[in-house]
Chain A
Amino acid sequence: MVTAVTSMGRSGLYDWLMQRVTAVILLAYFLLVGWVLIGGVDYASWKALYSQTWMRVFSLLALLSLGIHAWVGLWAVFTDYLTERLMGTTGNVLRLLAQVVCAIVMFTYVVWGIQILWGF
């Protein structure tokens, strides 16, 4: 049993499951957006699409999924390359800093995304 408090859900199983679920949501969202784009869009049809509540909810879901997916993935990258084993205590400091930066970026994108989705 290894303790880890900086992962998404503090459980490997939960993180693994969330990464899979969010991947499916993201795939569905980007397939939809890609399909709409291939069909051809102009400003009016694009605005009409994003004026519908279901599209806004779906977009927010995709945005949250992106945040969770990125958190799980980057946490794995950080705990591989920025570690105490590789660079001593510096590794821990760098990793926590990197995670805080990621968290702020993701939080900003989510709030900004909500503002965009419901703000126009």
Chain B
Amino acid sequence: MLQVSIYRYNPETDAEPYMQEVQVDTGGKDIMVLDVLELIKAQDTTVAYRRSCREGVCGSDGVNMNGKNGLACITPLSETVRNNKLVLRPLPGLPVVRDLVVDMGMFYAQYEKVQPYLLNDSPAPAIERLQSPEDREKLDGLYECILCACCSTSCPSFWWNPDRFIGPAGLLQAYRFLADTRDTATEERLSRLDDPFSVFRCHGIQNCVNVCPKGLNPTRAIGHIRNMLLSRAT
């Protein structure tokens, strides 16, 4: 029996959050953490969490497992459980709506700030804006982000300044459009980022790199943005 400690909070009935101890029969198999959540849900239907695709594509089930953020659906127990104990908490730093469900409003607000869409004033061609394979390659490692918020909610700079620091997820997307040769708003994008908080609150501790379930590297992208700001200003 796996010993699971799960964060519970229902603002309508609970005065404050508490940890609930649950025994889960995994049948001795190395199942995913999401499967464990489903087993818990079968025992106690009031447990709330987000999930959708169950294969690491939608980014809905980002949770904190034994202290490390990740997607419950693609994290096998063997990767996170030590001494038969699994502690499940909501992503840190965001307001809890209920149990493992967090309010992602602040995360999305930062994402929106970087204008995560192609900006190009020239008339659109009949079919599509073409790009050479080499230019397209520059977007590898950037476009794969699924916005699960595992990175930003593992970043202390984002915990303290979620309203002013864009955060690793937003900055990865900022660079995704700065690096895109089809985008013509590079200058405006850089101007919007050039302040003491949006980019420079990153101190390069790389928690984001450590937790990204897609294996992306926001710290490197932030470094590229910094270099672009630097060469623009010197």
Contacts and interface: CB of A to CB of B under 8 A. Distances in A.
A38 to B, nearest CB: 32
A83 B161 contact: yes
Contacts, number: 54
Interface string A2-22: 111001001111011100000
A79 B161 contact: yes
B233 A2 contact: no
Contact of B194 (A7, A12, A83, A86): A12
B82 interface: no
A2 B229 CA distance: 16
Contacts of A111: none
Interface stretch (B30-38, B174-182, B195-203, B209-217): B195-203
Nearest to B159: A80
A21 to B, nearest CB: 12
B196 A12 contact: yes
A80 B200 contact: no
A48 interface: no
A79 B156 CA distance: 12
A20 to B, nearest CB: 10
Contacts of A3: 195
Contacts of B198: 1-2, 12
A83 B161 CA distance: 9
Given A1-B191, A1-B192, A2-B164, A12 B157 contact: no
A1 B196 CA distance: 9
B144 interface: no
Contact of B200 (A1, A16, A85): A16
Contacts of A2: 164, 195-198
A11 to B, nearest CB: 7
Dominant SS among interface residues on chain A: helix
Contacts of B156: 80
A59 to B, nearest CB: 28
Contacts of B161: 79-80, 83, 85
25 contacts: A1-B194, A1-B195, A1-B198, A2-B197, A3-B195, A4-B195, A4-B196, A4-B197, A7-B196, A11-B195, A12-B196, A12-B200, A13-B194, A13-B233, A15-B196, A15-B200, A17-B230, A79-B197, A80-B156, A80-B160, A80-B161, A81-B160, A85-B160, A85-B161, A85-B163
Interface of A: 1-4, 7, 10-13, 15-17, 76, 79-81, 83, 85-86
Given A1-B191, A12-B199, 14 more contacts: A1-B193, A2-B196, A2-B198, A3-B195, A4-B196, A7-B196, A10-B196, A11-B196, A12-B198, A13-B194, A15-B196, A16-B200, A17-B230, A83-B161
